[in-house]
Amino acid sequence: MQITVIGACENVSKSLYDLAYTLGTKLASRGHIVICGGRGGIMEAVSKGVKDAGGIVVGILPGLIRNSGNKYLSVEIPTGINEMRNAIVVGSGDVIIAFPGSYGTISELAFSMRQGKKIIVFRPEEFPIDFSLLKYDNIRYAQTIEDALLYVEESNDF
């Protein structure tokens, strides 16, 4: 399965960075290909985890320059379309895993819902939006890696 991981590219707490890193190792060890925006923060952490576990991680980059993503990417896809790449980032995944982030992450969540994607949200209380206001059935909330991995494996059921 291709799993897209989204989240903040800067000002990421150590606990969230470590959580994203561990998630990357677990997804790779289960044979999943990970897709992300290819930059820093959560994207770097998950990419590092995937690489350390011997997996494949694809970065969909905002600019036109290859080798401008984080150093852990297996594949870089430069788009030259800046934030509009967010639709491609989420469109490339079978399941979307969202870590807390700001406007870019929120736009990726909106694209995910528009595309009917299955979404797993880590620590929804840390997002700048109130998820209880959303009317979307294909969303689950996780506090732990185990929760998220269970939802990934059960993604055909939600």
Q: Which residue segments constitute the domains of the chain, with CATH numbers given?
A: 2-153 (3.40.50.450)
Residues of the chain with pLDDT under 50: none
The pLDDT score that the predictor gives to residue 156 is 79
pLDDT at 157: 78
Instruction: State the pLDDT at residue 99.
Output: 98
CA-wise closest residue to 41 among 16, 23, 66, 22 = 16
Q: In what order do the strands lie in the sheet with 33-36?
A: 75-78, 57-61, 33-36, 2-6, 95-98, 118-122, 139-142
| Structure tokens, 7 | 């989240």
pLDDT at 17: 97
Question: The pTM is what?
Answer: 0.96
Q: What is the pLDDT of residue 48?
A: 98
H or E, element range at 158:
none
pLDDT at 155: 87
